[in-house]
Amino acid sequence: MIIAIDPGQSGAIYEQPDGYAQGHHLRLGQFYDGDLVDAGRMQDYIITVKAKKCYLEKQQSRRNQGSQQQILINYGIIYATLVLCGVEVVEVQPAAVKKFHGINAKGDYKKGKKLAIEKVEQLGYIVPMLKPNGRTRKHDGVADAILIYLYGEQSE
């Protein structure tokens, strides 16, 4: 099984089973215990799905993403758990993924999310709904995870 991860509490995991045209997605938030990724839950998931390879979006601190230190700590937990479980980790740069898919938001974070969702839907994938803070919206983390997977598969 190949997985792709958009790290972050509002991120997602896209899993692509061998021999299937489309895979499944999971909210990454279910692997959190408070503000930290629970390495035990992550390990259980990786072992259960028999993940062999992971395309992992490389994290960089930037505005509008909460605590920069917390983001990098959780990225380290995810990365270390994958490696300790024997998963081949391929880090991908967010800018390279967006360029590959023709997404140009010119530094506008919200516009980038919207364009990612539109691109994934154009490719025939379903982006689920999310209800944070009582507002229903499409889950951009799932869209990003799918784009990360597609980029990883094409770039190898």
Name all domains of the chain by residue range, CATH numbers in brackets: 2-155 (3.30.420.10)
pLDDT at 135: 66
Q: How far apart are CA 102 and CA 150, in angstroms?
A: 13
pLDDT tens sequence for the chain (156 residues) = 999 999 977 889 999 887 777 788 888 888 999 889 999 999 999 999 999 999 999 987 666 555 678 888 999 999 999 999 999 999 999 889 999 999 988 877 788 888 999 999 999 988 888 766 666 778 888 999 999 999 999 887
pLDDT digits (tens, 9 = 90+) for 131-145: 666 667 788 889 999
pLDDT at position 15, please? 93
**SS3 letters across the chain:** CEEEEECCCCCEEEEECCCCCCCEEEEHHHHEECCEECHHHHHHHHHHHCCCEEEEECCCCCCCCCCHHHHHHHHHHHHHHHHHCCCEEEEECHHHHHHHCCCCCCCCHHHHHHHHHHHHHHCCCCCCEECHHHCCEECHHHHHHHHHHHHHHHHC
Model confidence, pTM = 0.88
